Amino acid sequence: MIWTFILAIGIIVLGLGLGKWIRYLFEHQIISNKIPLDRVLKGLLSFVLLGINPIILMGAFWHVELNDQRLFLLPLLGILTLSLGGVLALGLSKIYKLKNAQTGSMFVSGAFINIGSFGTLFCYLFLGEAGIAYAAMFRLFEELFYYSVCFPIAKAFGEKGNKRDMSGQKAWKRFIFDPFIMITFLAILIGGGLNISDFSRPDFFEPLNQWLVPLSSFLLVIPLGFSMRLTAVRRYLKESLSLSAVKFVVVPITIVSLALLVGMGEIYNGLLVKVILILSCMPPAVSSLVPPQLYKLDVDLANANWIVNTALLIIVLPILYFLIQIF
């Protein structure tokens, strides 16, 4: 257990630290301003999302059990998780009597969940390769929900008329034609097709994923460290800690209870419930920082929420691991 925990925390800390160190070198001109770091970091993300992650997903879906109809409840529970977090964050905003710009930032921090880089990693480290496939099913409609629901709500709390509008018809077009989403769905379809075929998965896939999953998460975390703004934390510490009660207590208890109610605990020796527990207990996604910038919401509050809740994983992860062992 201790080595699994150290590896999980180590990947996050080292990735964030490396990103922050690169930012320091850039700001102090130790790294030349002529180097297009933004393009380099975007290229890194593209390499992971278009190159590494599809291989991981295809291999996981090729191997995992997909013979229970209740698996189709996973995407629904994923949407409910996002919705509940957003609604409860709006409730916190009412309690603290926040202004519209702050309320919008609280909403996206509550609704957006870091499933891609953190949740998938912890599912793999704690549960094995099957956790990757079920995590992908849980987040199947995550991006669609963000673009079609969360972005318009965030816009309603911010300034209108932004040219980079992400709501309405443009949101659907982005979802349909986004290469990252298309490649992800394609990898799932190919892996699922191979799963029901007569072709056996090559033995090298399991050790390959043992390297690719941690590497993918590490590379995804580096840009997050580069964009961190630690100065925002002190101003909004109270709000961020309150949000952590929503993200790490109320939402997981509610969603896991619903999962047990619909019989998910009976599938694959409770593996699905463990996946749901991990994924419903993740901090805000880095994409929660995008709507505040687009719609002139409170960027500092969004940053504080992301940093504080991500840091609390040091406390949350051992508790998660313990709960998984007793389920």
What is the pLDDT, as a whole number, of residue 7? 82
Q: What is the CATH number of the domain that holds 62?
A: 1.20.1530
Q: In this model, does residue 32 exceed pLDDT 80?
A: no
Q: Residue 173 — pLDDT band, cuts 50, 70, 90? A: low
pLDDT reported for residue 172: 60
Give the confidence band of 190 by pLDDT, cuts at 50, 70, 90: very high
**Angstrom distances, CA of residue 221 to CA of 49, 53, 118, 312:** 13, 14, 9, 16
Q: What is the pLDDT of residue 161?
A: 42
Q: What is the pLDDT of residues 254-295, one digit of tens each?
A: 999 999 999 998 888 899 999 999 999 999 988 888 888 888
- Total of domains in the chain: 1
pLDDT at residue 168 tops 70: no
Rounded Cα distance between 43 and 113, Å, is: 23
Residue 175's pLDDT is 60
Residue 46 is predicted with a pLDDT of 85
Q: Return the minimum-mean-pLDDT range out of 44-58, 118-132, 174-188.
A: 174-188
Is 308 in contact with 240 (CB distance < 8 Å)? yes
Share of the chain above pLDDT 90, in %: 37
Q: What is the pLDDT of residue 200?
A: 87
For residue 217, pLDDT beyond 80: yes
Distance CA 321, CA 251 (A): 17
| Nearest residue to 16 via CA among 255, 269, 226, 225 | 225
- Which is more confidently placed, 259 or 46? 259
pLDDT above 80 (res 35) = no
- The pLDDT tens digits of the residues spanning 119-166 come to 998 999 899 888 889 998 998 888 878 888 888 899 889 875 444 555
Backbone torsion region of residue 269, taken as left when φ is above 0, otherwise alpha when ψ lies between -120 and 50, otherwise beta:
left
Q: Which residue do the tokens 């957003």 mark? A: 86
In this prediction, residue 12 has a pLDDT band, given cuts at 50, 70 and 90, of: confident
Write the pLDDT tens digit of every residue in 67-113.
888 888 999 999 999 999 999 999 999 999 999 999 999 999 999 99
Local confidence band at 183 (pLDDT 50, 70, 90 cut-offs): confident
Considering only residues 147 and 218, tell me which one the structure prediction assigns the higher pLDDT.
Answer: 218
Query: What confidence score (pLDDT) does residue 103 get?
Result: 96
Q: What is the pTM of this model?
A: 0.84
Cβ-Cβ contacts under 8 Å for 62 (sequence gap 6 or more)? 191, 194, 195, 201, 205
Domain assignment of residue 50, given as a range: 2-326
Average pLDDT over residues 205-212: 88
Across the chain, what does the average pLDDT equal? Answer: 86
pLDDT number for residue 83: 97
% of the chain residues with pLDDT over 70: 93
Phi-psi sector, 168: left (phi>0), alpha (psi -120 to 50), beta: left
Stretch among 17-26, 174-183, 298-307, 317-326 having the lowest mean pLDDT: 174-183
Report whether 224 contacts 70 (CB < 8 A). Answer: no
- Predicted confidence at residue 301, as pLDDT, reads 94
* CA–CA separation, 105 and 102 (whole Å): 5
